[in-house]
Amino acid sequence: MAKRSLSSLTAEDLRGKRVLVRVDFNVPLNDEGEITDDTRIRAALPTINDLLQKDARVVLAAHFGRPKGKVNEGMRLTPVAARLGQLLKKNVTKSQSCIGADAEAKVNALRNGEVLLLENVRFFEEEEKNETDFAKQLAGLAEVYVNDAFGAAHRAHASTEGVTQFLSPSVAGHLMEKELQYLQGAIDQPKRPLAAIVGGSKVSSKIGVLESLIDKCDKVLIGGGMIFTFYKARGLSVGKSLVEEDKLELAKSLEAKAKVKGVQLLLPNDVVLADDFSPDANSQVSSIESIPEGWMGLDIGPESVKVFQEALSECQTVIWNGPMGVFEFDKFAFGTNSIATTLADLSSKGCCTIIGGGDSVAAVEKAGLAAKMSHISTGGGASLELLEGKVLPGVAALDDA
């Protein structure tokens, strides 16, 4: 369903208006409390800058960490406000709480073209419970609502869903709009052939995605630790590789479903094995038919990389979610890095390449190839749920276009 976006609001619509913007500023910090990756803050800049240029009074709402409904000094948004100020090249005020007297006073003091960051909305348990009174207080700070937090759109929380009952218009920000355009577009109206590469350690975390993608894709390529559950289901010996014993029948049914639908389901034919789960473990390459006892698979093998590259070479749209192996260990990063390089190359030839959140994003960034992809999703769980075909509450709540 098409949603109304910020692009539909003019300077006349927004000048002098208090605009509540839900952003995803859940960024990683080091032990000194310094931000180690500001990607999510940068991703919100187009929306914030657009509102500032249209002379709005910008009130930002965000969560940080999991404080479980209590004030946690280590989860205040103070470093985020400082970093955002540097990026915007202007002062960003921060409130002591997201609701109450201090928040109201600071919102009322805002002038056109100024920014206020509300303190962590998850300091109140009412946020995740989506309690009406809390949502009403939050909404009472503004006149217009913009949701730009795609990474939190799969949650029906007060700041993502509840506030829309009290604010009109309620629209998608530029990042949200871009996420929906790419991810929804790839599923609903892809340029074909459409391929999905699904990795990660467990089949259980990707069941819905795999079932949905087998329905929609021409090719599905599977890597990561989950491949060993498929091999075990075929009756192969997998050494001490990770296996979900309770998912063997599911693995069989997924392979059967792909066969019935005429979808090419590709699993690696060779793997890189380790004698221990460590970066400096002894390693060897083995075909999937001859994995020795006492060894575990930590990456897809060189032959599999070639087969995957060949399968992807003709594709016009590729979605990638989940690494091919334990890419955090350099010795077992070849498969993941090769897929990243392959997608960067395909992008340059006009293929639409979508990195669907989570560890694949980290892998692409680690390889220095993020800028070469068509779209890098900022949502982990939200990306997965959208690819599964689920309705995202934070999107459903917005005004229809």
The residue annotated as part of the active site, out of 136, 202, 252, 257, is 202
- CA 34 from centre of chain: 22
Instruction: Exactly one of 85, 208, 380, 381 is catalytic; name it.
Output: 381
317 vs 196: CA distance, rounded Å: 8
Asked about 40 being catalytic, the answer comes back as yes
Q: Report DSSP letters for 68-133, one per residue.
A: TTS--GGG-SHHHHHHHHHHHTS-EEE-SSSSSHHHHHHHHH--TT-EEE---GGGSHHHHHT-HH
290's tokens: 């001859």
**358 in active site:** yes
**Per annotation, catalytic residue among 173, 224, 358, 379:** 358
223 is annotated as an active-site residue: no
Phi (first) and psi of residue 118, to 5 degrees: -75, 150
Distances (CA, A) of 299 to 34, 42, 329, 331: 33, 32, 10, 9
Catalytic residue of the set 3, 18, 40, 106: 40
Read off the tokens for 126.
């009412």
Give the span between the Cα atoms of 325 and 200, in whole angstroms. Answer: 7
Q: Is 173 a catalytic residue?
A: no
Residues 6+ apart with CB under 8 A from 267: 222, 227, 230, 231, 288
Active-site residue numbers? 40, 202, 358, 381
